[in-house]
Chains A and B, each alone.
Chain A
Amino acid sequence: AQSVTQPDIHITVSEGASLELRCNYSYGATPYLFWYVQSPGQGLQLLLKYFSGDTLVQGIKGFEAEFKRSQSSFNLRKPSVHWSDAAEYFCAVGAGSNYQLIWGAGTKLIIKP
């Protein structure tokens, strides 16, 4: 069955420290992979996506993610977090003819001053 797992419900990181949010997927074909961020009171914003090609994908706000087929992973990284990065992060796989999104449960990022 198709699924997306984000093993960390929440993560706390000090401002200026590096960040890695984990995402594992289960999907039969080559996946379309996405990371979205949802800030309080705001809509979901697309951070980055992977369709094909270079497995290291650059996104907005200084985020990047690496697709590793052998590990069925698409982890999100940022070298130095800012307080404004505090939000909920969702990993998703696009599936089916309409590219419906299969969502992970989300990881809440907390930034320590």
Chain B
Amino acid sequence: GAVVSQHPSRVICKSGTSVKIECRSLDFQATTMFWYRQFPKQSLMLMATSNEGSKATYEQGVEKDKFLINHASLTLSTLTVTSAHPEDSSFYICSAREATSSQYFGPGTRLTVL
């Protein structure tokens, strides 16, 4: 149980385009979902916290107009990187929190912006 999927696992796009990443909790309802960014050989950096039906709460320094988060249901959250640039290239990871407070993580999405 407690499986979280992410799609796509890998995406390459041109500079200036937008990319949408989906995060789904497959076998539980997640009131809260989190989006992280992980740089090579570093720990995870929390970007935003998303509660179903509410606007996401962004961490300091994260541009909410650039990283659009939608949490329309208890099993789906999406992250859209708008007008992507090479510096946005990174590994993006989502997690979903179940009722017991444990977070379960998706496998991540490798974004490469050319």
Contact = CB atoms under 8 A, between A and B. Distances in A.
Q: Chain A, interface size: which category? A: 20 to 34
A105 B45 CA distance: 10
Interface in B42-57: 42-44, 46, 49, 51
Interface of A: 32, 34, 36, 42-46, 49, 51, 90, 94, 98-101, 103-106
14 contacts: A32-B101, A43-B105, A43-B106, A43-B108, A44-B93, A46-B2, A46-B102, A90-B43, A90-B44, A99-B101, A103-B44, A104-B43, A105-B42, A105-B43
A64 to B, nearest CB: 17
B43 A103 contact: yes
B49 A98 contact: yes
Contacts of B49: 98, 100
Contacts, number: 51
Contacts of B107: 42-43
B97 A99 contact: yes
Q: Majority SS of interface residues in chain A?
A: strand
B42 to A, nearest CB: 8
A51 B104 CA distance: 16
Given A46-B104, A101-B44, 10 more contacts: A36-B105, A44-B95, A46-B102, A46-B103, A51-B101, A94-B103, A98-B34, A98-B49, A98-B97, A105-B42
Contacts of B2: 46
Given A42-B107, A43-B108, A104-B43, A94 B93 contact: no
Contacts of A90: 43-44
A36 B32 CA distance: 19
A103 B100 CA distance: 19
Contacts of B4: 43
A112 B103 CA distance: 31
Nearest to A90: B43
A15 to B, nearest CB: 24
Interface string B28-66: 000010100000001110100101000000000000000
